[in-house]
Amino acid sequence: MGWFTRKRRLKVSAIKLAELLHQIFVEESEQNVDPNSYNVPEAHFDKFRTKIFLYRSALVLTALVKKSSEDSIFQPTLAEYEHILGLPDAKKWDDVRAAMSDLAVILTPTENPNLTWSRNWLMDIGHDETNPITLTVFSVCWMDQYIAANKSLSHMIE
């Protein structure tokens, strides 16, 4: 019966998948985030964009870590993505790991952290946002990105 089974594989190479994930979820998505949407003052735009890039990178890495722990087919893609991010450079790894830990608060909540998490994230770049709608939209944006990354990975298996 074993000769009837088809070996599972990714639709694209691990290198290509890692590159696509980074291009779509980090580079292109980062360009589409308007700091004005979250009332970030212009003086903080550069910090906002730098942190968006870091957190988008960490978000994709988080999705890959989860997927590769569930299915070994994603382990080579995880290794390639770590290479793209320049890991294990100690400073970069510390920054990415801190962002991953911070994202875990909102991606696996034990209570409703939306307002606190978003406010802390924006405060870290020097912007004190207090509008609950803006804060909620910001946190939902991150959750949507994580869901999209996970779904994209699931669709990459033949």
Structure tokens at 27: 């580079």
Within a domain: residue 48? yes
Question: Which residue range forms the structural domain that includes residue 52?
Answer: 12-110+142-154
| pTM, full prediction | 0.77
Sign of the dihedral through C-alpha 63, 149, 53, 133? negative
Look at the chain and report how many structural domains it folds into.
Answer: 1
Q: What local confidence, expressed as pLDDT, does residue 86 receive?
A: 87
Q: Which of 75-79, 81-85, 117-121, 129-133 has the lowest mean pLDDT?
A: 129-133
Segment 35-49, tens digit of pLDDT? 999 999 999 999 999
Within a domain: residue 34? yes
Per-residue pLDDT band for 158 (boundaries 50, 70, 90) equals confident
Within a domain: residue 128? no
Q: Is the pLDDT of residue 112 over 70?
A: no
Q: Which of 22-26, 39-43, 154-158 has the lowest mean pLDDT?
A: 154-158
Residue 107 to residue 118: CA distance in whole angstroms: 12
Within a domain: residue 40? yes
Name the residue among 82, 44, 43, 33 with its Cα closest to residue 61.
Answer: 82
Segment 67-101, tens digit of pLDDT? 999 999 999 999 999 999 987 677 788 999 999 99
Are 82 and 89 in contact, with CB atoms under 8 Å apart? no
Residue 143 CB-density burial (10 A; 0-12 exposed, 13-18 middle, 19+ buried): middle
Q: What local confidence, expressed as pLDDT, does residue 95 receive?
A: 92
